[in-house]
Structure formats: C-alpha cells, structure tokens
Amino acid sequence: VIGERTTSSSNGMQSILSEKDARIGEEERRGAVFKHVEGLGYRVGQGLVERFSQDRPRFAEVLDVMKFICKDLWQLIFRKQIDNLKTNHRGVYVLTDNSFRLLMRMSTEAGGLDTVTRAQPYLWFPCGVLRGALANLGVQATVVAETTAIPVASFHVQTLRQD
Amino acid sequence: MSRTPRQIGEEVWKTRVEKVNAELVTLTYGSVVAQLCKDFGNDYIQVNEQLDKMGYNIGIRLIEDFLARSNTSRCRTFKDAAEIVSKVGFKIFLNITPTVGNWSQDNKQFSLIFDENPLADFVELPDDGKAINELWYSNILCGVLRGALEMVQTQVEAQFVSDVLRGHETTEMRVTLIRILEDEMPVGDD
C-alpha cells in the first residue's frame, strides 16, 4: 500500500511539475509575442508623432503631452478621442476608451471572461504605439493595458522620473 | 454590366468603406517589414515569402468583405477579373487603381502598374547592398491577390518584377492565370 501511495504521489508530483513547466512555457511564449507586437507598435507610435507633431510648439508639461495623445493622436489612429484621462499627479496616467476600435466587434462563443481574456493581446499593439509616441515626445514610460468589459480599454501609463 | 468597374469602385469607396489614416497604414506596414527583416536576419528571400504568406491569409478573408461591399457579379473572362481587381479591389481597400496592361498573347498574363503605392510612402530599403536586389517590399500585395482570387476559383501566381524602391522606373506586378478551379464536391456527398 505504501509503495502504491508513493508511486501515485510521485506521479501526481510529476504531473504538477509538467503542468507548471507548460504554464511557464506558455507565459514565456506570451511574453515573447507581447514584446514583438508591442515593439511593432512602438515604431508606429514614433513615426506618427514625428509626422504629426512637427508644426506644434514644444509641450511644456507631461500633461500637455498626454492631452495631445488623448485628443489628436487617438483621433488620428482610431477616429475618436480618449473618453477619460485620470492622473494621480505623481506620474501615473490612466487613459480610458469606452468604445475602443480594436475591440468593437469582438465576441466569443463563451462570452464574458473568455472574450476579455482573448481580447487582451489586441491591446499590446496600441500599448506600444503609446509608449513610442511618448518616447518621441520626451516622456519615458511603461504602458500596460487591460479590458474588463468589451469594448472598454484602459491604458495605464507610468512615467519614469528623469533625474 | 450597366456600370463600369471604375464607377463601382468610386461609389463603394465613397459610401461603403470605413477609412483609416493613410500614414497609420504605411507606418504599420513598414514596422512589420522591418521586424521581419530583423527576425529573418536580413534573409530577404525569406522575408518576401513570409510577406506573401501573410498576404495570402489576408486575401482569403478579404474576398468576403470585398464581395459583400462591392456586390459585383461573376467575371466572365480573366480580363474582366483584372479590371475588377484594379478598379474596384485596389480602389476600395487602398484608394488606388493600378494600371492594367502588358497582356500576354494568350490573355493569361497581365501586369498591374502602380503609379502610387501607399505602402511604400517614405520608405527606403536597407542600404546593405542586398535588399535592393532581393527584397520585394510590397510583396504582401501579391499574397493578398493570390488568396483572394483563389477563393473565387481563380488560381494565379503573382510577383513583382520591378519596384521604384529598387530604383526601377515603375512598380509592376505580374499576374499569371494558372487555372480556373472547378467546384469539387466533397467525397461521399451526393
């Protein structure tokens, strides 16, 4: 009996381990794809800003840069403006788009959380666009995005202090 | 046909197409090509292939959108098809109408000559001395055409034969009809 138990528990252990391995593999793969897609967006963000901010006066503050992105850049890319811009005045900005173009017509059979999870990768490209646009306007930042209900998307921008 | 392909294209473009900023398209495509060059270590032959493949996957889906929007009827000849591709297809998706010409004797080969190419605006090929001879920058278009036509029973081969980005006079895509595919019944389905 003891022998049996040992085998079954070691089997159990093994399957837990391999499941964990698979999960790590999956996460790594996701991470690699994220980096790729985000990188594509980054270049696009850089290019767009270069083209469309050239005739403007220099932005005085980061908030002005944010407003430019929410109004002009978003309009240019998605034909609408960001619906809501929030900041904690300590370098964090949250941009919310209540009817985000790329998610507008998305649905999955299972619906709900399944749709939200599967829609997530579609936010990686615009994350990159935002980061690239900010970078070319002199604002170093990290950008992550999430959606809690289709088609709402919010982008969390954490600007990095430049000392 | 009561209306010419040009009229159909114009009308669909004006009334039934959602537009996006042209620069966004150009920059995004450029970003994709640049990334592919990096991924394949500047093996441009492979980049060409990959672009063609990506285009094919777009084409086989895009045709449905095309038919839904344009509401065109069946083409009777390959010549009709060429006109529709140029004046309706390219018009409604890229707002250009490449010139159809250089027909072969047997009417199975023609060229699309691009006076303008929105994909290639502000583009310079890498100056490694290789890209200029090997990379077909807009190769995705060949794939799109191949995929889309295959879905309407027309098997073609498409490749660029010249590109202004390489310093040629024109940008020209050669399209060759391989065969008209017959509708085949699935096995055991009477």
Write out chain B in H/E/C secondary structure. CCCCHHHHHHHHHHHCCCCCCHHHHHHHHHHHHHHHHHHCCCCHHHHHHHHHHHHHHHHHHHHHHHHHHHCCCCCCCHHHHHHHHHHHHHHHHHCCCCEEECCCCCCCEEEEEECCCHHHCCCCCCCCCCHHHHCCCCCHHHHHHHHHHHCCCEEEEEEEEECHHHCCCCEEEEEEEEEECCCCCCCCCC
Q: Among A33, A43, A105, which would you mutate to test the B interface (most chain B Cβ atoms within 10 Å of its Cβ)?
A: A43
Query: How many domains does chain B fold into?
Result: 1
Model pLDDT, residue A58: 87
Tell me if B186 is assigned to some domain: no
Q: What is the mean pLDDT of chain A?
A: 87
Q: Among B17, B18, B19, B24, which would you mutate to test the A interface (most chain A Cβ atoms within 10 Å of its Cβ)?
A: B24
Provide the whole-model pTM.
0.86
Model pLDDT, residue B82: 96
Tell me if B189 is assigned to some domain: no
CATH of the domain at B83: 3.30.1380.20
Instruction: Give this complex's ipTM.
Output: 0.82
Q: What is the mean pLDDT of residues A48-76?
A: 92
Residue A27 or B50, more confident:
B50
Q: How far apart are CA B7 and CA A154, in angstroms?
A: 42
Model pLDDT, residue A57: 87
Taking an 8 Å cut-off on Cβ atoms, the answer to whether B28 and A44 are in contact is: yes
* Residue A16 confidence class, pLDDT cut points 50, 70, 90: low
Model pLDDT, residue A8: 46
Instruction: Tell me the C-alpha to C-alpha distance, in Å, between residue B1 and each of A14, A120, B148.
Output: 69, 46, 22
Percent above pLDDT 90 for chain A: 63
Tell me if B53 is assigned to some domain: yes
Tell me if B190 is assigned to some domain: no
- CB contacts of A39 in chain B (<8 Å) are 35
Model pLDDT, residue A21: 75
- CB contacts of A43 in chain B (<8 Å) are 27, 30-31, 34
- CB contacts of A48 in chain B (<8 Å) are 23-24, 27
Residue A1 or A52, more confident:
A52
- CB contacts of B31 in chain A (<8 Å) are 40-41, 43-44, 47
Tell me if B188 is assigned to some domain: no
Q: Is A40 part of the contact surface with chain B (CB cutoff 8 Å)?
A: yes
Q: How far is B34 from chain A (nearest CA, A)?
A: 9
Model pLDDT, residue B140: 98
**Residue A125's closest chain B neighbor by CA?**
B28
* Residue A55 confidence class, pLDDT cut points 50, 70, 90: confident
Which residue's entry shows tokens 């990768």?
A121
Tell me if B185 is assigned to some domain: no
Q: Is B22 part of the contact surface with chain A (CB cutoff 8 Å)?
A: no
Q: Is A44 part of the contact surface with chain B (CB cutoff 8 Å)?
A: yes
Taking an 8 Å cut-off on Cβ atoms, the answer to whether B24 and A39 are in contact is: no
Q: Is A77 part of the contact surface with chain B (CB cutoff 8 Å)?
A: yes
Tell me if B187 is assigned to some domain: no
Q: Is A80 part of the contact surface with chain B (CB cutoff 8 Å)?
A: no
Model pLDDT, residue A9: 47
pLDDT tens, residue order, chain B (190 aa): 468 999 999 999 999 888 899 999 999 999 999 999 999 999 999 999 999 999 999 999 999 999 999 988 889 999 999 999 999 999 999 999 999 999 999 999 999 999 999 999 989 999 999 999 999 999 999 999 999 999 999 999 999 999 999 999 999 999 999 999 887 777 775 5
Model pLDDT, residue A11: 53
Domain that holds residue B132: 5-180
Tell me if B147 is assigned to some domain: yes
